[in-house]
Amino acid sequence: MRTGNAARFGLMAVPVAFFALFFAYPVAAIVRRGLRVDGSWRFGRLVDVLGQPDIRHVLWFTTWQACASTALTLLVALPGAYVFARLDFPGRQVLRAVVTVPFVLPTVVVGTAFLALVGRGGLLDQMWGVRLDTTVWAILLAHVFFNYAVVVRTVGGLWAQLDPRQEEAARMLGASPLRAWRKVTLPALAPAVAAAALMVFLFTFTSFGVVQILGGPTFSTLEVEIYRQTSETFDLSTAAVLTVVQFLAVGAILAVHARTVRRREAALKLVDASMTARRPRGAGQWALLAGVLGTVAVLLLLPLGVLVQRSLQAPGLGYYRALTDADGGTFLVAPVAAIGTSLSYAVAATAIAVLIGALAAAALTRRDAGRIVRGFDALLMLPLGVSAVTVGFGFLIALDEPPLDLRSSWLLVPLAQALVGVPFVVRTMLPVLRAVDARLREAAAVLGASPWRVWREVDLPMVRRALLIAAGFAFAVSLGEFGATVFIARPDNPTLPVAVARLLARPGDLNYGQAMALSTILMVVCAVALLVLERLRTDRSGEF
């Protein structure tokens, strides 16, 4: 047992060092810079900042829109979770992949797609003279678009494995379909619904790209306000206070989420998901299927279709051809160069994320974890919720002197992107690693195999497919990272999301069209990566 613990802590050493150096240190640096003046801490600044009416409005709007986005996402996506879990119909697997595409799209692309749909000159504006880009509805709908797959795959993954005979038994005892679902199925799904709701709340609470593009000067979340305070007004003190507030809120959300997931893992006896799906029966199920397909078409596919259409409006692919011209204004290089830059950064970030995430997942394989290991598990999730803007700005002020002067290094961007990719690697690989029979590892060790050889000969052949899926998710996430990259990407090496944001910030139809063209390219790359992942996924990889 002692040897096993030593090996576990050895595996944890590299990920802990990575997160300490490239996550905790930059975040602590910006908090220290903002709250420490002349050698003394100014904790009274917390009260001063939180007492400002505009900051209270930001806090209220951040919380309110996250609650509204979560409720609206559950309302729209739960029928989809049932359809994908219980109904078998032609094209189900392809549609399942299509539904997941929005989740891996960069938030900049999502914001741009909805801008093309509901903004000035958008589809609604052209057809009915309706604009929603100046209202909160554009933000809420974009959040539903982005998080629809979280509910479908998290709740649907468990729903597909629930034994349908339990609900059928209740029906035979005289319960109506609604009562049987409410008394039998809903309690079983409650942990999964709660876990999905918490994840959606977390993603919308820390929303940046969507609110930055669609909210304009009217609406601001904590993440957007931190960006404004650091990049526009250079008020590090206020930004530090908001970072602390967001950090505490995210920590509380993740603690509740971890507790919910543990309840979910120990909840029920499950069955093979392939045994529960069947062809729709009756008018009700066919109507539900039609309604879900219509929702997917209008809510998920229409914005992306409008995005592509707007990018093709110029004759002769004019917007795409304009990407090859460097005007010396927005960029120091032609916008098309951002494609190669993004791909190279994403490949490097994926390699880092897979290495760190695989070591972390191996350390977490055993379920009988103590408090230290559970704390390590929570640490891995923090980059998903802590302000990416803070991390990016922290990189600039923390990694600026020897031996960690990385300001001029190309590695700065991949390191920031890898921080976001690591949690996806861990969550993809961990269930598969835990499914490996521990006796196989013990037998190999008894026969004299070293821990490295045990991993190579026992674990790796079984988790190879999950490793490829994890790498694909890390690649897609790294490709679209925006919050940190917007601070540290050099003007001569912009990434695709940064290039899109800069083009949108400049007036003129040509800049707007080029932003649509770059967003379409980014969308296609992410969609292709996801479709490849869907073909690779294992039978148990249907959940996030």
pLDDT digits (tens, 9 = 90+) for 174-205: 766 667 767 777 777 787 788 788 889 988 98
pLDDT number for residue 429: 77
CA distance 468 to 429: 10
Residue with tokens 């494995």: 161
pLDDT number for residue 14: 87
Asked if 224 and 194 count as a contact pair (C-beta separation under 8 A), the reply is no
What sign does the dihedral 526-529-532-538 (CA atoms) show? negative
What is the 8-class DSSP label of residue 215? T
What is the 8-class DSSP label of residue 296? I
CA distance 218 to 84: 38
From the centroid of its chain, how far is CA 185?
28
Longest dimension (CA), the chain: 75
pLDDT digits (tens, 9 = 90+) for 511-537: 888 888 988 888 888 777 777 766 665
pLDDT number for residue 487: 80
DSSP class per residue in 528-543: HHHHHHHHH--TT-S-
Q: How many CA atoms lie within 13 A of 115 on its CB side?
A: 24
DSSP class per residue in 183-246: IIIHHHHHHHHHHHHHHHHHHHHT--HHHHHHTTTT---HHHHHHHHHHTS--HHHHHHHHHHH
Helices (H), 300-385: 302-311, 318-322, 337-363, 371-385
What is the 8-class DSSP label of residue 362? H
Asked if 163 and 188 count as a contact pair (C-beta separation under 8 A), the reply is no
pLDDT number for residue 70: 95
b/e code 66-101 from CB counts within 10 Å (16+ = b)? bebbbebbbebbbebbbbbbbbebeeeeebbbbbbb
CA distance 185 to 11: 40
User: Taking the chain (544 residues) in consecutive chunks of 10 residues, what is each chunk's mean pLDDT?
Assistant: 56 86 85 71 73 89 94 93 84 79 78 80 72 80 90 80 70 70 75 83 86 82 85 78 81 72 51 62 85 90 87 87 73 81 92 90 67 69 73 81 77 89 81 69 71 69 74 83 82 85 82 87 80 60 44
- If we measure between CA atoms, which residue out of 487, 472, 486 comes closest to residue 527? 472
